[in-house]
Structure 1
Amino acid sequence: MENMLSSAPLPSSLPDRFILLPDQRPPASSVAVSLPVIDLSRGRDEVRRAVLDAGRELGFFQVINHGVSQQTMREMEEVCEEFFRLPAADKTALYSEDRFKRNRLFSGTIYGDRYWRDCLRLACAFPVGDTKNDWPDKPQSLREVIEKFIMPTRGVAMELLRLLSEGMGLRPDYFEGDLSGGDVVIHVNHYPPCPDPSLTLGLPPHCDRNLITLLLPGTVNGLQVVYKGEWINVDPVPNSFIVNFGRQLEIITNGMLKSIEHRAVANSALARTSVAAFIMPAADSLIGPAEEFVSKDNPPRYRPAIFGEFIR
């Protein structure tokens, strides 16, 4: 628990253990590219084309008019920020460095180095049922708010997968069942103000390992995405979700859709809290390129693997 940034006074200078090598530090981005913004209330044919085009071009996009109420999104942001303001004594029992523990609080040591982040990880089964009893009981409204948020958020993800399926010539329910039947894993990422953001990162460059991710980005910018070999800053649209594809979607489509590297930068003045909802396949799912994307001219680029083994 002593590693938790949010439970310690802000240092006047960046501790040495957080300083990255020069070639790993975040250079200034000069690329001006905006993520596509897709209005899910438009006609289905238009939305289907937009989702597929954005996925092929950037692997990241934003969705608005998605059906999750603004109140639900704001309540989720507020309760997550409130959680990280709790006294350390109220969070100690949650802290764990066991990567395979379903629900835990941890610091930015997960990648073997030190990154300027604290994270609350929660596993959400569907239906939620008794699994919420394993979530923190403080703040008092946390369990209720997360359940209220995650149900429609998962619904948005499943609708996007249906749109992708239709656009790629698959049956609309292709991704239902085991391919999306695992937990929805929530990462509440908290990035406290950093003494020197030029020397460290909140999250290192990485690709998500799941199927599809919806991010509630919060009000402070910090997400960067690779585009044509350079890092671009993401400027979220109000009341939007940022969507990106995980490795499993890349594998299933045999590389037609890409899982794109992204990272989080720190901020010297403001704390940032974001919420990522990861749609996961069932642990025993065998995932490989779908036969619809394999041919003599386009052989399999990935070997099939059990998802649980892939994660391990």
Structure 2
Amino acid sequence: MQMALLMNSSTSTHVLYPALKTEEPKTENMVSIFDSNLLQNQVNMPKEFIWPSMDLVNTAQEELKEPLIDLSVMKSGDEEAIASAAELVRKACLKHGFFQVINHGVDQELINDAYCEVDPIFNLPINKKLSAKRVHGGVSGYSGAHADRYSSKLPWKETFSFVYNHQNDSNSQIVNYFKSVLGEDFQQTGWVYQKYCEAMKELSLVIMELLAISLGIDRLHYRRFFEDGDSIMRCNYYPPCKSSNLTLGTGPHSDPTSLTILHQDQVGGLEVFADNKWVAVRPRPEALVINIGDTFMALSNGRYKSCLHRALVNRYRERRSLVFFVCPREDKVVRPPENLLSKNEARKYPDFTWSSLFEFTQKHYRADVATLQSFFQWHSSCNL
């Protein structure tokens, strides 16, 4: 089997959600090789990829009834239309934290180009991919099934991630990254993702304005907070899996970041846990899926929900998705704006920096529905 897993530390689990357990990441680097073709030829599914039945039940039979927001209203100057869109966002974020946007200003051709660059990355020889692997606790680089972090419940996927600095003076920061880790042949790939990240940044700031309006605060508050951020771009590749009933492409989790902007291909597989059941998020080629993350949940003092979600794998078809995780600058202090809090409303979370939460999820804890609570417990114990 083309996978080596080196581990010495013990695993601790926490019951954090009905029928959901999580595993702490390993405290040292692990070596991983993910070759789905070879793994598929094994007589039995490798145990590292088998998820507990409690995480696999209730495959969605219904679709999420999330609103479809027309973002063109944000440039229209029509305050009534903007208020109506904000109200739809508010209702969705109070309930489950998911909505989709259309007329978002991101060129469909650019999205198509970004998908065209996914396969050249994941079709590289395994040694080339491993030469660009993500370091333990880091962000950027290749990961095969996240086996550099976990020893069990591995996701059936490969990822390639990189940081996009909103304030970087260079208009070629992503180009330079691709050339440095994958070589000159990937210069064009770097240019495509450079443009994609620039478009995602601009879109994210518009959405931040809409979120501020929906919460009844200064329209520019969150825009200003995130305009100098350090966001994360990720390409996801989910190979077909003949034992798809035993594994997951991404396990149940809430995003620890602030806002997730996702485009999924038409294969489908994204599911949200809402109303005590798993429901599917319909792929829409013209739309982008937006979901609230833990950090924005804290910025809204817990009003807006960072919802549990997962991704299935397909037995016959490859699945791809493009994800932009919106994050503040790493040293920004995360706290809700004062005018969001009513006189008798207590703070639900203490102040923290994004870098401290991110380090916790990368080095100590596998993100789940209770990441924030576990982070504050851990942080308190470290300061005793």
1:18-97 to structure 2, matched below 5 A, reads 18-42=49-73, 43-97=81-135
Distance in 2 (alpha carbons) for counterparts of 1:124 and 1:58: 27
Q: Is the deviation greater in 106-115 or in 62-71?
A: 106-115
Check if 1:11 corresponds to 2:40.
yes
AA paired with 1:31?
A: E
Distance in 1 (alpha carbons) for counterparts of 2:122 and 2:186: 10
Q: Is the deviation greater in 82-91 or in 113-122?
A: 82-91
Correspondence for 1:229: 276
AA paired with 1:60?
A: F
Select the residue among 276, 280, 284 that pairs with 2:331.
284
For the aligned residues, what is the CA RMSD? Answer: 2.1
AA paired with 1:55?
A: C
Distance in 1 (alpha carbons) for counterparts of 2:305 and 2:107: 29
Distance in 1 (alpha carbons) for counterparts of 2:292 and 2:83: 21
SS at 1:154's partner residue? helix
SS at 1:231's partner residue? strand
Distance in 1 (alpha carbons) for counterparts of 2:68 and 2:122: 30
Distance in 2 (alpha carbons) for counterparts of 1:87 and 1:96: 16
SS at 1:9's partner residue? helix
Correspondence for 1:248: 295
The 1:4–1:37 alpha-carbon spacing in structure 2 relative to 1, beyond 3 Å, is farther
SS at 1:274's partner residue? strand
The 1:27–1:97 alpha-carbon spacing in structure 2 relative to 1, beyond 3 Å, is farther
SS at 2:93's partner residue? helix
Distance in 1 (alpha carbons) for counterparts of 2:357 and 2:134: 22
Check if 1:98 corresponds to 2:136.
yes
- 8 Å contact from structure 1 (residues 26, 198) kept in 2: no
Select the residue among 131, 137, 140 that pairs with 2:173.
131
Q: Deviations over 1:36-77 (max 9, x none)?
A: 211212432332222222222331011111011110010011
- 8 Å contact from structure 2 (residues 205, 226) kept in 1: no
Distance in 2 (alpha carbons) for counterparts of 1:44 and 1:295: 24
Q: TM-score, normalised by structure 2?
A: 0.75
Please list every run of 5 or more consecutive structure 1 residues that lacks an aligned counterpart in the other structure.
none
Q: Deviations over 1:85-120 (max 9, x none)?
A: 2233442310234122x4210122234422211110
- 8 Å contact from structure 2 (residues 166, 201) kept in 1: no
The 1:9–1:246 alpha-carbon spacing in structure 2 relative to 1, beyond 3 Å, is same
Distance in 1 (alpha carbons) for counterparts of 2:128 and 2:97: 39
Correspondence for 1:107: 144
Select the residue among 229, 237, 245 that pairs with 1:198.
245
Please list every run of 5 or more consecutive structure 2 residues that lacks an aligned counterpart in the other structure.
4-31, 74-80, 360-384
